[in-house]
Chain A
Amino acid sequence: MAQAAAVAKPPAPPRRRRASATPRRLPYLLIAPAALLMLGFIAYPVLSVFYYSLQHYNPTKPWRNGYAGFDNFVHAFTQDPQFWDTLLFSAKWVVVEVGLQLLFGLALALIVNQTFVGRGLGRALVFSPWAVSGVLTSAIWVLLYNSQTGITRYLADLGIGSYGTSWLSDTSTVFPAAVVADLWRGVPFFAILILADLQSVSKDLYEAAEVDGASRLKQFWHITLPHLKDAIVLSTLLRAVWEFNNVDLLYTLTNGGPAGVTTTLPLYVANTSVDAHNFGYASALTTVAFVVLLFFSMVYLRLSKFGGEK
C-alpha cells in the first residue's frame, strides 16, 4: 500500500536540493541518543578498564589500592599460569567451534538450498536452535549429560559405556561434550547467513556450467564457493569474536570446570572480578583481551573495506 501511494506521485521536475532543505543540526540530533548511550555505557567503561588496569584495586584489600604501573600486566605474563591456560583454551575453543560450525553450517545451507519436498519445515527445524539462549542450551545439555538419567544411562542399557558416566565432570570428556552443546546452537548461525548469500548466486551461471558439462563438485568449487567467499570470511570473523566473548554457555554448563580446564579468558576475568574482587588485575586481563579483539577488528575493517565507498 505504501508503494502504491508513493508511485502515484512521481518526483516533480524542480527538485529541491536536499542540502538546502536540511537544517545542519538535524543529523547530529538524530544520532545524539545513540551516541550518548554508547559514550556513556561503552566508551566510558572501556576507558575506566584501561585506567584500572594500571591500578591496584581491590575493595576487599583497600590498603593495597593505588597506582600500579604495569605490575598487573607483568604479573599476568610472568607469574600467572592460569592466564596463559585460559588464553590458550580460548584460542582452542574459538578455533574448534568456529571451524566446525562453518563446516556444518555450509553443508547444511547447501542442503536446504536445494528444492525438495518439505523444505520449509526442514529449514525451520534445523535453524530452530539458533534462537535458543546459552543458558537454555546449558539446561538442555545438562539434562542430556546427566549421569543418572541422561543419555549415558540409556546407552549403558544398550551395553555402550557404563552407568553413572558424567561427561561434564571428567577432564578428558568435558571439552568435546561442551563443543557439541555449543555446536548444536551455533551451526544454524552460519547456515542462515550462508543460505542468505546463496540466494544471490545467479542461476544462469549454473545453467551455463551445466551446458559446459561441469560436474556438481566443479560447479561448487568454481561458482558457489567464490560467490560465498566474502560472506564466509566476514561471518567467520564475527563468529570468532562472538565465541571469544560469549560466556553464557560455559559459565552455566561447566562454570569453567572441572579443575578449570574449560575456563576461557573472559570467564577467568569474570571470576577474578566478581568472585575475587580483584578489579585492578581483572582490568589488566580485560585490556589484554581488548588487544586480541583489536587485532580481529582491524582484520574485519580491512576486509569489510571500510575505507572504500562507505
Chain B
Amino acid sequence: MITEIAPAPRRVVSEPVRPRGGRRAWDEVPRWQIYLPLSVYLLFTLIPFYWILLFALRPAGSTSLVPWPMTFDHFEKVWTERSFGLYFYNSVLVGIATLVLTTVVALAGGYALARFDFRLKRGFMLALLCSQFVPGALLLVPLFQIFAELSMINSLASVIIAETVFQLPLSMILISGFIKNVPPSLEEAAWVDGCSRFAAFRIVVLPMLRPGLIAVGSFAFVHAWNHFLFALMFLSDQSKQTIPVGLNTLMNADSVDLGALAAGGIVAAVPVVIVFAFIQKWLITGFSAGAVKG
C-alpha cells in the first residue's frame, strides 16, 4: 500500500512523564476503552443478523424474540416454492465462472504489466485506473443492447461477462502488484535452468501468488454473487435468475412474506460468509501487500 513511513515529528513534549512501569505504548490502553465501544459496535453489527435469523427460524405470525419453537418451514418454502434452489444453482454458476474468468484474464494482464515495458503500457494503466470510475449501473442500456445483438439476453453468459469486465481493472492492478513482489531473479534462474517463460511462471511465480489470487478470486466471486442489477436487467426468464433478484422479488411482493424473505436472505448469505471466513486472514495482509490504490 503505502511503503514510506510518514516522518514522525519527534518533538520533545514538556508534559510530565507518566508512570509507565515498563509497559509499551500499545499495551497501555485501559481495557474498558476497548471493550465498551467494541461491545456497542458489536450490538449494532449483530442485532440485524440476529433479526434475520429470528424471522427465518420462528413460525409465521410469532412475535417471540427468541426463535423457539424453531421451524425450518420457511427454508423449505423458499427453496422449493420460491425457486431459491434454482437461483442458488444459477448464482453459483455465475460466481464460479466470474471467478475463473476474472482470475485468468487478470493474471495474464497483470503479468504483462509487472514484467514488461511496452509502448502502450502507460495508456493501458491509465485506462485501468479510469475504468474503476465507470459505473456499470449507468451503462445498463448500452450493455443491454450489446448483449441483445450478441443474442445473449437471458443467458447467464451475459451476466458473467458483465461482472468479469467490471472486476477486471482492480483485479489486474492488484495482481500486477503481487507479481512485482516476486523477485524477477527467481524467474530468471529458472530460465537459465532451461525452463520456458511459461514453465518458469507456473513453477516459480504462481505458487507464490496463491494468497493474492485467493483474495482476488474471492472478491470476484463475492461481487458476482452479490451483484444484482445485471442479472435483473439481462435475465428476464425466471428460471435464469439469481439469488439477489429472487430476494428483490420477495421484497417487492404485494404482501411480503417476512419468514420467506429472511430464509432467502440466509440462503444468500451462507456462501459469502463461508468465503469470507476463508479469506479473512488474507484480507489484511493481501491488501497491505498489493496496491489497492494502483
Taking beta carbons and an 8 Å cutoff, which residues of A are in contact with B? 1-3, 5-6, 9-12, 15-16, 18, 21-22, 26-28, 30-31, 33-35, 37-38, 40-46, 48-49, 52, 104, 107-108, 111-112, 114-116, 122-136, 138-144, 146, 149, 151, 153-154, 184, 192-193, 195-197, 199-203, 205-210, 212-216, 218-219, 222-223, 226-227, 229-231, 234-235, 238, 241, 244-248, 251-252, 266, 269-270, 273-274, 279, 282-283, 286, 289-290, 293-294, 296-297, 300-301, 304, 306, 310
**B288, A196: Cβ atoms closer than 8 Å:** yes
**B116, A26: Cβ atoms closer than 8 Å:** yes
In the complex, which residues 90-117 of chain B have their Cβ closer than 8 Å to any Cβ of chain A? 105-106, 108-109, 111-113, 115-116
Taking beta carbons and an 8 Å cutoff, which residues of B are in contact with A? 1-3, 5-13, 15-18, 20, 24-29, 31, 34-35, 37-38, 41-42, 44-49, 51-52, 55, 63, 65, 105-106, 108-109, 111-113, 115-116, 118, 120-121, 124-127, 129-143, 145-146, 161-162, 164-166, 168-169, 172, 184-186, 188-193, 197, 203-204, 207-208, 222, 225-229, 233, 244, 247-248, 250-251, 256, 258, 261-262, 264-265, 268-269, 272-273, 275-277, 280, 283-285, 287-288, 292-294
Known: A34-B105, A49-B138, A202-B5. A42 touches B165 (CB 8 A): yes
**B251, A126: Cβ atoms closer than 8 Å:** no
CA distance A201 to B276 in the complex (A): 26
| Shortest distance from the beta carbon of B243 to any chain A beta carbon, whole Å | 8
> Quick one: closest B residue to A144, CB to CB?
B51
Interface of A is mostly: helix
**B105, A136: Cβ atoms closer than 8 Å:** no
> Quick one: closest B residue to A45, CB to CB?
B142
> Quick one: closest A residue to B24, CB to CB?
A207
CA distance A27 to B135 in the complex (A): 28
Shortest 9 CB-CB contacts between residues of A and residues of B: A133-B226, A2-B207, A245-B135, A45-B142, A30-B112, A27-B116, A226-B6, A34-B109, A206-B25
Task: Kindly count the residue-residue contacts between A and B in the assembled complex, taking CB atoms under 8 Å apart.
Answer: 364
25 A-B contacts (beta carbon < 8 Å)? A2-B208, A16-B192, A18-B115, A18-B184, A26-B116, A30-B109, A31-B120, A33-B105, A45-B139, A48-B145, A114-B26, A131-B222, A135-B244, A136-B244, A139-B52, A139-B261, A143-B262, A149-B63, A193-B287, A213-B17, A227-B6, A231-B1, A283-B141, A300-B133, A306-B294
Known: A154-B65, A184-B45. A197 touches B189 (CB 8 A): no
Contact of B233 among A18, A114, A197, A274 (CB under 8 A): A274
| Shortest distance from the beta carbon of B179 to any chain A beta carbon, whole Å | 11
Contact of B229 among A35, A195, A247 (CB under 8 A): A247
**A238 partner residues in chain B, CB cutoff 8 A:** 132, 293
CA distance A112 to B41 in the complex (A): 11
Given contact pairs A134-B228, A235-B292, A297-B133, a sample of 7 additional A-B residue pairs in the complex whose CB atoms are under 8 Å apart: A38-B127, A136-B226, A138-B247, A139-B52, A208-B8, A209-B25, A310-B294
**A9, B52: Cβ atoms closer than 8 Å:** no
| Shortest distance from the beta carbon of B91 to any chain A beta carbon, whole Å | 11
CA distance A18 to B111 in the complex (A): 14
> Quick one: closest A residue to B294, CB to CB?
A304
CA distance A2 to B138 in the complex (A): 44
| Shortest distance from the beta carbon of B138 to any chain A beta carbon, whole Å | 5
| Shortest distance from the beta carbon of A297 to any chain B beta carbon, whole Å | 4
**A28, B105: Cβ atoms closer than 8 Å:** no
| Shortest distance from the beta carbon of A246 to any chain B beta carbon, whole Å | 7
**B273, A128: Cβ atoms closer than 8 Å:** yes
| Shortest distance from the beta carbon of A57 to any chain B beta carbon, whole Å | 10
Contact of B288 among A124, A129, A197, A247 (CB under 8 A): A197
**A34, B233: Cβ atoms closer than 8 Å:** no
**A34, B108: Cβ atoms closer than 8 Å:** yes
> Quick one: closest B residue to A129, CB to CB?
B45
Contact of B133 among A107, A241, A248 (CB under 8 A): A241
> Quick one: closest B residue to A22, CB to CB?
B116
**A203, B26: Cβ atoms closer than 8 Å:** yes
**B169 partner residues in chain A, CB cutoff 8 A:** 38
CA distance A68 to B10 in the complex (A): 63
| Shortest distance from the beta carbon of A310 to any chain B beta carbon, whole Å | 7
**B203 partner residues in chain A, CB cutoff 8 A:** 2, 5
> Quick one: closest A residue to B131, CB to CB?
A42
**A108 partner residues in chain B, CB cutoff 8 A:** 41
